[in-house]
Amino acid sequence: MGQDSRVSGGSRPAGPDAGAGPAGGAGRGDPAEMARVLSEVAQRTGKLLDDYIRKHASGGRAGAVADELGVAKAFMDLWAGMLANPWSVAESQARMFWDYSTLWSNTCLRMMGQAVEPVATPVKGDNRFRDEEWENYFLFDYLKQSYLIAGRSIRDAVAGVKHLPEQTRRKLGFYTRQYIDAVSPSNFVLTNPLVLRETLQSGGQNLVKGLNNLLADLEHGEGELRISMTDENAFKLGVNVATTPGKVVFQNDLAQLIQYEPLTKVVHRRPLLIMPPWINKYYILDLREKNSFIRWALEQGHTVFVVSWVNPDKQHAQKTFEDYMLEGPLALLDAIEAATGEKEVNLIGYCLGGTLLGGTLGYMAAKKDRRIASATFFVALLDFSVPGELGVFIDEAQVANLEKRMHQRGFLEGSEMASTFNLLRANDLIWSFVINNYLLGKEPFPFDLLYWNSDSTRMPARMHSFYLRNMYLKNALKDPGGITLCGVPIDLSKVDVPAYFISTVEDHIAPWKSTYRGAKVLGGGKKTRFVLGGSGHIAGVVNPPSANKYGYWTNADLPPTAEEWQDNAEWHQGSWWSDWQAWIGGLNGPERVPARRPGDGGLRVIEDAPGSYVSVRLGKSRKKHIHEK
């Protein structure tokens, strides 16, 4: 939502400085309700303190805090750079002083009823300042602009320091943004008009309920704060998410294979296998009937199979990237042939699943195995030279520290990975929920996408170490012979199957200019089609034609650089799903065969979809509060 998009913040009349303040009166609340909530707060607090004491009773005092992320060193380098160029710092401070002087003058003019232009405005999509009081009431407008000026000045000062290593510069930019986001006036009771209004009107009950919510989230995280983003009790797999009918027809240690019931009487001869990342669960592609890519593909006449990866624990600690290839696509190609009698399959790889697809194609090219007739890459990296903001967390020191933790447990905890991804969009995925849950004292709204987002998965230690070191640190997959899988040197330039790459313009996890480089690595040449969709890593992929959102760009050529591709790309209204279907339909040809049902071929039905592997959920759902009625 842009800076001019506002929502009603109260009942008082709008105007430059209408009314005495943002509340319009205080309420006393319900004493009985307050007593109930305070009682539960006391119970939760006592239990948490008791648990903390028991956990730490045998431990001594912690030593010096380790700088595992290298943040302290990065800011020491920044400080040294600023000292080496004091004139740049002075110039930045002078600009900030001038902006503050202008803001003060404008505020005084507003108090006298004059209209003035703002000195600083929120960027498009910044929802923190939606409440109309941020604009209509001069005090909150002053706080907002003062914060935006300070944030801009800090960012400019950090960016202005020269001669820093690129990794240090990325780290400084990322953590500076985290600090600026954290100190926003929207995150505090007395400087957020919406929260202040609610506090006065409810007699402070919102803050007491918010404290109760905070304690519940600490219980949910077993002592660590896990902010609830949605009502996790509102969803159940197979009931109101992941509901497309299907059967599990094959499984091994790492994967279940789901075959879906057809929705057409005849289907394309070639089956379609979808391989999602094992960093998340597959049902992002089957959230609801109206935005399910799986259901839509069935409606287009595909026989759809989906990989449902296991949620690993310590018994999977020694599983390798090679194991994921052997027990994933290679084993499942055999299973699909047994189920349908077809040797050739169209295969989709999403994100990390696309990276595995690339490695598998390189392996199969060396083996002269042509069973993958086409490859589709959903926001997937084959060339990691532009790793996006995740690169902030990946350098030798951080990977080594992560390996130590994974070695102790045998896996990377899913909540750690989820926290990392949430930091990439902290205002949307952290601070908005701090305000809603803890300051306003409200329960999170039931939202299927956020339910999926909170349904985190672990990563086996050995596999994840290989992935981080060989893909991110060494960027070895793109180089001929850069990595070896099952004794086979992988050379992506030998892969000549038709390939479709869909990337998204706002993707911070797999930046599109990096995915474009990956498309250039493959040896298919004219057989490769690159498409750029709107929005980001999830919303840009889960974008059904019925929504008619975002649009997409196409270019039949693959020039040397992403910039050249973009300069000559053509924009289209609607969803890239339709473009993909036209592409894959042209490869499949007009031939159709009778629809195949799970269990009709050489594989027996094991259980109903969504299957047991996807149902393993980490942690426990936050309990309903006593004060809820």
Q: Give residue for tokens 């750690």.
A: 416
Strand partners, 375: 347, 499
**CA-closest candidate to residue 44, choices 199, 209, 233, 234:** 209
Q: Give residue for tokens 């040397």.
A: 560
Secondary structure of residue 378 in the 3-state scheme: strand
Strand partners, 307: 257
- Please tell me which residue in 351, 372, 459, 499 is annotated as part of the active site: 351
Tokens at residue 349, please?
């790889």
Please work out, in degrees rounded to the nearest 5, the angle formed at the alpha carbon of residue 511 by the alpha carbons of 388 and 277.
Answer: 90
Q: In angstroms, what is the C-alpha Rg of the chain?
A: 27
Contact by Cβ (8 Å): 460, 319? yes
**CA-closest candidate to residue 219, choices 421, 451, 49, 429:** 49
What is the distance between the alpha carbons of residues 214 and 203, in angstroms, rounded to a whole number?
19
Please work out, in degrees rounded to the nearest 5, the angle formed at the alpha carbon of residue 625 by the alpha carbons of 619 and 627.
Answer: 175
Q: Which residues contact 586 (CB under 8 A, 6 or more apart)?
A: none
* 3-state SS record for 403-435: HHHHHHHCEECHHHHHHHHHHHCHHHHHHHHHH
Please work out, in degrees rounded to the nearest 5, the angle formed at the alpha carbon of residue 13 by the alpha carbons of 12 and 16.
Answer: 115
Secondary structure of residue 155 in the 3-state scheme: helix
**CA-closest candidate to residue 299, choices 23, 595, 86:** 595
What is the distance between the alpha carbons of residues 135 and 468, in angstroms, rounded to a whole number?
46
**CA-closest candidate to residue 188, choices 128, 123, 119, 142:** 128
**CA-closest candidate to residue 250, choices 614, 615, 602, 617:** 602
Q: Which residues contact 422 (CB under 8 A, 6 or more apart)?
A: 429, 430
For residue 192, CA distances in Å to 207, 228, 244 come to: 13, 21, 43
Q: Give residue for tokens 């091994």.
A: 252
Secondary structure of residue 411 in the 3-state scheme: strand
* 3-state SS record for 40-84: HHHHHHHHHHHHHHHHHCCCCCCCCCCCCCCHHHHHHHHHHHHHH
Contact by Cβ (8 Å): 215, 38? no
Q: What share of the chain is helix, strand, coil (3-state, %, to 5)?
A: 50, 10, 40
Q: Given phi > 0 = left and psi -120 to 50 = alpha, else beta, which region is 326?
A: alpha
Sign of CA dihedral 290, 292, 295, 297: positive
**CA-closest candidate to residue 432, choices 84, 126, 78:** 126
Question: Does 351 participate in catalysis according to the annotation?
Answer: yes
The dihedral over CA atoms of 14, 18, 21, 23, expressed in degrees to the nearest 10, equals -40
Residues counted in the chain? 629
For strands 484-485 and 488-489, give the pairing.
antiparallel
Tokens at residue 329, please?
């696509």
* Catalytically active residues, by annotation: 351
